[in-house]
Amino acid sequence: MEKSRRNFIKNSALAGVALAATPTFGFHMMKKPLEKETILGHGDYQYKLVRDWAQMSSIETPLLNCHEMQMDSKGRLVMIGDHPRNNVIIFDKSGNVIDSWGTAYPGGHGLTISDEGGEDFLFLADSGWFLNKSGKWTKHNGRIAKTTMDGRVVFDIGHPVTIGVYKPGESFCPTETAIGPNGDIYVADGYGMSRIIQYDYNGRYIRHWGGSDNPDKNYQLKSAHGVAIDYRDPKNPMVVCTSRNQASFKWFTLDGKYIKTLHLPNMQVCRPVFDDQNLYAGVCWSQPEVGKTNWKQPTGFVTILEGDTVVSNPGATAPIYVGGELQKSYQLTERPISHGHDVCIDNDKNIYVCQWRADKTPPLKLERI
């Protein structure tokens, strides 16, 4: 009986079927409907959806959008969001809130943890967009800050116009950072000029590349939303940049020379996240399948790659290749995941999903089966 049940769940998951009632958004709602287990994903990458993983109060720890999360050297899950009274939230693996702090990053968007000689530091990206008291999105100057784990600022990286890198009037709205093997800092200006700006360990400018208006298609980045270092080949680390509006990742050398592009049809991906030999990413936007309702609400999921091959899409239809070409994937009609803005992978290969525009819900947990 148990074997039959497992086979049924596995076959259903392989077909992209979610076994659940319609999800309830909003962690402020106390009464939950009875529901069966929701199994998401495909092949060897299947997960049980845990919606109530985060043990938190909307009054004590308010949320707006969950943007990014990483695990520190102590096994704590550190998340950045954009609530004006609460920028950084630290969880343990059971979902308990250990600490929360920060009001200086109202456009809190990117969070990267750097281990420097056994001590963790945060690199925080404030995109420059925040929700003001009247409920309107307002733009201010973007900012990158290096801080200790409790928020003490080590140094800031401000608008590149101040050092002559940007022209007056060019927007700087950074969305993400990555730290290279020698400590160099790579900043993705995802909501500004879509450039990657490289600084040294002390925050001194080195170079920049990319840009939405770059005439060279290889170097052109449209919504350079994420950046990461690909260490899967230890002898040849590479910078991986998101070109979200092109549904692509682009690889470069550490000094900005183009290597390759990977196009993921119908996946407007966010930051690339590496774990062992896998690449994971939240898919923030996708178009509905032809003939389906033209959804105006959540349209995202998570995608998982082995090398350059998509092997699982938790929250979406299974990846299909025809003649070696990846076909479009679509969010499941049950919408188990909203706009997938970032993922974090723990030591047990579970996935934590930060969602944007998801009714102020905390991160979801996808428990690896």
Delimit the domains of the chain by residue range: 2-368
- Number of other CB atoms surrounding residue 307 within 10 Å: 11
Classify domain 2-368 at the CATH topology level.
Answer: Neuraminidase (2.120.10)
For residues 312-341, average pLDDT:
96
- Please say if the pLDDT value at position 155 is more than 60: yes
Helix, strand or coil, per DSSP, at residue 186: strand
Q: Which of 206-210, 239-243, 266-270, 283-287 has the lowest mean pLDDT?
A: 283-287
Residue 348 or 86, more confident: 348
For residues 168-184, average pLDDT:
97
Residue 289 banded pLDDT, cuts 50, 70, 90 = confident
What is the per-residue pLDDT for 292? 62
- Please say if the pLDDT value at position 119 is more than 90: yes
Residue 168 banded pLDDT, cuts 50, 70, 90 = very high
What is the per-residue pLDDT for 60? 87
The β-bridge relationship of strands 278-285 and 268-269 is antiparallel
- Please say if the pLDDT value at position 20 is more than 50: no
- Please say if the pLDDT value at position 26 is more than 80: no
What is the per-residue pLDDT for 328? 96
Residue 22 banded pLDDT, cuts 50, 70, 90 = very low
Residue 274 banded pLDDT, cuts 50, 70, 90 = very high
Q: Calculate the alpha carbon distances from 92 to 71, 82, 346, 354, 364 in Å.
A: 10, 20, 11, 15, 14
What is the per-residue pLDDT for 35? 59
What is the per-residue pLDDT for 58? 81
> In this structure, are residues 168 and 161 in contact, taking their beta carbons and an 8 Å threshold?
yes
The token duo for 299 is 């349209």
What is the per-residue pLDDT for 117? 93
- Give the span between the Cα atoms of 241 and 263, in whole angstroms: 12
What is the per-residue pLDDT for 30? 40
What is the per-residue pLDDT for 28? 40
- Please say if the pLDDT value at position 11 is more than 50: no
- Please say if the pLDDT value at position 325 is more than 50: yes
- Give the span between the Cα atoms of 194 and 324, in whole angstroms: 30
